[in-house]
Amino acid sequence: MLATLALIPLHSSALPEDSEQPIHIRADNAEIDNKSKRVIYRGSVQVDQGTLRVTADEMTVEYQDQKVVRIVAVGEPARYKQQLEAEDEMVNADASTITYYTQDERVDLQGDASLEQEGNTITGDFIRYDIVDGKIDATAEGNNRIEMELQPAFSEQ
């Protein structure tokens, strides 16, 4: 089952300041492989870049041309959060595996995936969240189904 959503009010991109900030990574240990251009972090891993935070049990960071191109976080669960606009609440997500594509500003959530923004939530087996285009594609496998909870819109008077 596949659902493409435009119902959750997502914004066009993350705070511009986030991509201009350095990436900070903390972990219990790290394994650096310069030949394959990757670093594997293990044990209470945390990545911060501006308002972006990804936490996991294990994280693989892949480089290309001296830039981080992909971060794969695995955990029970792995977690992602980021503020997209200065006046907005944080976007929160968790899954067994979170893959963050830094250049495309896209997050793939796989395994018991959940994404929440401004009280609206979607869950499924796999969620692809395009931060730039504000698009979510969600899938469920087998007898599982996509579940959404949408909050009513309130207008100020």
114-136, pLDDT tens digit by residue?
999 888 999 999 999 998 888 99
- Predicted local confidence at residue 15, as pLDDT: 57
pLDDT tens-place string over residues 83-94: 887 788 889 999
pLDDT of residue 154: 62
Q: Domains of the chain (ranges plus CATH)? A: 2-142 (2.60.450.10)
Asked if 98 and 113 count as a contact pair (C-beta separation under 8 A), the reply is no
- pLDDT of 3 reads 35
Rounded to an integer, what distance in angstroms lies between the CA atom of residue 151 and that of residue 156? 15
Task: Give 101: exposed, middle or buried? Use CB within 10 Å, 0-12, 13-18, 19+.
Answer: middle
**Cross-strand pairs, 3:** 138
Give the pLDDT confidence score for residue 155 in this predicted structure.
55
SS3 category, 60: strand
Structure confidence at residue 156 (pLDDT): 56
pLDDT (0 to 100) of residue 134: 83
How many other C-beta atoms are found inside a 10 Å radius of the C-beta of residue 1?
13
Residue 145's SS3 state is coil
DSSP-based three-state secondary structure for 18 = helix
Residue numbers in the chain where pLDDT is lower than 70: 1-16, 154-157
pTM of full prediction above 0.85: no
Cβ(96)–Cβ(74) under 8 Å?
Answer: yes
Q: Which of left, alpha, beta for 141 (phi over 0: left; psi -120 to 50: alpha)?
A: beta
Q: What string of DSSP letters covers 117-134?
A: ETTEEEEEEEEEEETTTT
Confidence at residue 145, expressed as pLDDT on a 0 to 100 scale: 93
- Give the phi and the psi of residue 26 in degrees, each rounded to 5: -125, 140
At residue 13, the pLDDT reads 45
